[in-house]
Amino acid sequence: MLLKKRTFLAGAATVAALTALSTGAALAQDKTKVGFVYVGPINDGGWTQHHHESALKMVEAIGEDKVELVYQENVPEGPDSERAMTQMALQGADIIFSTSFGYMDPTLNVAGKFPDVKFEHATGYKTADNMSAYSARFYEGRAVQGTIAGHMTKSNIIGYIASVPIPEVVRGINSAYLHAKKVNPDVEFKIIWLYTWMDPAKEADAAKTLIDQGADVILQHTDSTAPLAAAKEAGGVIGFGQAGDMAEYGPSPRVSSIIDNWEPYYTSRVEAVMDGTWESHSVWEGIDTGMVGIGEISDVVPEDVKAEALAIKDAIAAGEYHPFTGPINKQDGTPWLAEGEVADDGTLAGMMFYVEGIEGSVPQ
């Protein structure tokens, strides 16, 4: 009896497997199946949570009757992520978003095996016919943040909690520094590298160290609220929300925030799959499309500073102003951008140098 059942199942499995392989994602389905692979838990309060919330909003925007969302959280980067994506593709996902840099090569591998499934990889640089890369110009938000920070500091020392030494983080530091310096020539940056994207204990320690060194503005590229909590405890110190609005720490110490908002992108890409208009691309969106959001600037910030910050935000959104506009020298004093020259995306994508005036060196 058992043997018979097994034989039957094995036979059925073979047939089903062949069907799945030959038709792939074209398998007749009413709903479009969208897969998400997350590096952290969906309630991490930072990176993963904002991807997941954006995914849920995408489902809401398109309609639950048209889209089915499947996701897997806590997926380690490497072969485990390759299996997670293969699994989703086998089960008929039409489009899969892999939302961490470390998924880049695994996504490329799976994309090669499932030519009919669309793949979208966040924050990487490799693409294929059925694999796009998407990322946000967070440095645009840093320009707004730097402007506020430069005005608000009384000690002229701004602390920066840096995460992992990759171009994205270095760009953020440079952009924030340039704009703080522009409104306050005496400003000085103190930078601590944590080599992690999220570790509340380390982030709190870093914030305390920076405050002890005289910083009264803390900028962070890590995802937890620990630095804001430390600023609140110290008193007289302000900070900014990162990834999420972190409004619960407003109006002070949190005076504004940079918000990751992936929903418009997710909605447009899933709709493109439904329309059959999806094409592989590599995009880098900023304040203009709303991928980078600026959280409300609180009343702790004087009106004129707020107006200036918003003017920069609007100019960036309108495409009238680029945060990296010359003249800008590199840290060692060699010229990088001439007067009025704007940085090209290629240089920005691989930016691993500080601009003139920042002390210390980028960890290599």
Partner 1 sequence: MIYLEKRPQPAKALSYFTPVLAVLITMVAGGLLFAVLGKNPVEAIRTIFWDPVFGEFAFYYRPQLLVKGGPLILIALGLSLGFKAGIWNIGAEGQYIMGAVAGAGVALALYPLEAWWIFPLMIIAGALGGWAWAMIPALLKVKFGTNEILVSLMLVYVAENFLKAMAIGAMKNPEGFGFPGSRNLQQYPSAHNTEVIAGSGMHWGVAAAFIAAIMGYILLNRHMLGFQIRLTGEAPRAARFSGVNPGRLVLFCMGTAGALAGLAGMFEVAGPAGQITTGFNVGYGFTAIIVAFLGRLHPFGIVLAGLLMALTYIGGEAAQSTMQLPAAAIQVFQGMLLFFLLAVDVLTNYRIRITLGEAA
Among 17, 307, 318, 342, binds partner 1 (CB under 8 A): 17
Binding of residue 202 to partner 1 (CB under 8 A):
no
Rounded Cα distance between 88 and 119, Å, is 11
151, 204, 296, 326 from 253: Cα distances, Å: 15, 14, 13, 32
Q: Whole-number minimum distance, CB 65 to partner 1, in Å? A: 18
Q: What is the separation of C-alpha 77 from the centre of its chain, rounded to a whole number of angstroms?
A: 16
Instruction: Please tell me whether residue 199 binds partner 1 under the rule CB under 8 A.
Output: no
**Closer residue to partner 1 in complex, CB, 37/270:** 37
Does 61 help bind partner 1 (rule: CB under 8 A)?
Answer: no
Strand segments, DSSP code E, in 131-249 are 131-136, 157-162, 188-193, 217-220, 238-243
Verify binding: residue 77, partner 1, rule CB under 8 A. Answer: yes
The tokens for 122 are 């966040």
Verify binding: residue 58, partner 1, rule CB under 8 A.
Answer: no
The residue range among 88-96, 139-147, 199-207, 310-318 that interacts with partner 1, by the rule CB under 8 A, is 88-96
Q: What is the spatial distance between Cα 364 and Cα 347, in angstroms, rounded to a whole number?
A: 17
10 near partner 1, judged by CB under 8 A: yes
46 binds partner 1 (CB under 8 A): no
Q: How far is the CB of 233 from partner 1 (least distance, A)?
A: 28
Axis crossing angle, helix 138-152 with helix 167-183, rounded to the nearest 10: 40
The CA-atom distances, in angstroms, between 223 and each of 121, 209, 331 are 20, 18, 27
Q: Shortest gap between Cβ of 35 and partner 1 (angstroms)?
A: 7
Beta carbon nearer to partner 1, 18 or 307: 18
Q: Are 90 and 20 in contact (CB under 8 A)?
A: yes
Specify the residue, 83 or 232, whose C-beta has the smaller distance to partner 1. Answer: 83
**What are residue 260's phi and psi, to 5 degrees?**
-85, 120
Instruction: Looking at residues 309 to 348 of the shown chain, list those that interact with partner 1 (rule: CB under 8 A).
Output: none
Give 152 or 170: the residue with its C-beta nearer to partner 1.
170
Tell me if 73 contacts partner 1 by CB under 8 A: yes
d(CA 152, CA 129): 48
Site for partner 1 in 158-177 (CB under 8 A): 164-167, 170
Interactions with partner 1, residue window 94-123 (CB under 8 A): 101-102, 105, 109
Going by C-alpha positions, the residue among 141, 121, 99 that lies closest to residue 293 is 141
Among 90, 128, 272, 317, binds partner 1 (CB under 8 A): 90
SS3 41: coil
Does 363 participate in binding partner 1 (rule CB under 8 A)? Answer: yes
- In angstroms, the CA 221 to CA 199 distance is 12
Segment interacting with partner 1, rule: CB under 8 A, options 76-84, 138-146, 259-267, 277-285: 76-84
Tell which one of 25, 55, 59, 88 touches partner 1 (CB under 8 A): 88
Beta-carbon count within 10 A of 16 CB: 10
Nearer to partner 1, 194 or 215 (CB): 194
Q: Is 131 exposed, middle or buried (0-12, 13-18, 19+ CB in 10 A)?
A: buried
Residue 294, helix vs strand vs coil: strand
**Binding positions for partner 1, rule: CB under 8 A:** 6, 9-10, 12-14, 16-17, 20, 35, 41, 70-80, 82-84, 86-88, 90-91, 101-102, 105, 109, 124-125, 164-167, 170, 195, 349-352, 363-364
